[in-house]
Amino acid sequence: MDSNSQAAKTVIENDFFLCLLSDLEEMQTIELTLEERQLFAIRQDNQLYAYWNSCPHMGIPLNWMPEKFLDLDGIFLQCSSHGALFQISRW
C-alpha cells in the first residue's frame, strides 16, 4: 500500500464537531478542515458522512470546484482527475 492510500484510510479515533445535520440539504457537501487536513462532509438519508478530500488512487483533491464532489447524476462521489466513482457509505 502506498502512502497516499494509507493516508486516505486514516481513521480518527476522537469525536469532532463538523457541522449540524441541518446545515446541509440532502446530498449537499461542505468542505472542512480538521487538524490541518482537508475533508468534506455530505448529507445522505439524514446521516452525515465525512471523508478526507484526497483520491485514494492519486492523492489529489477529489472536488473539481469548491464543494463539488458528486458525479453529474448526483449519486456517487467522483474524482475530478480520473473519474473514479465512490459510493457514499460509512466505510
Please report the pLDDT score of residue 42 as a whole number.
94
Please report the pLDDT score of residue 87 as a whole number.
95
- Using only C-alpha atoms, the chain has a radius of gyration, in whole angstroms, of 13
Q: Domain segments of the chain: what residues?
A: 3-12+25-86
Q: Per-residue confidence of the chain (91 residues) as pLDDT tens digits?
A: 344 444 445 555 667 778 889 999 999 999 999 889 999 999 999 999 999 999 999 999 999 899 999 999 999 999 999 999 999 987 5
Q: Which CATH superfamily is domain 3-12+25-86 in?
A: Rieske [2Fe-2S] iron-sulphur domain (2.102.10.10)
Please report the pLDDT score of residue 4 as a whole number.
43
Beta strand 29-34 with 37-44 is antiparallel
Alpha carbon of residue 72 to chain centroid = 16
The model's pTM: 0.76
Please report the pLDDT score of residue 9 as a whole number.
53
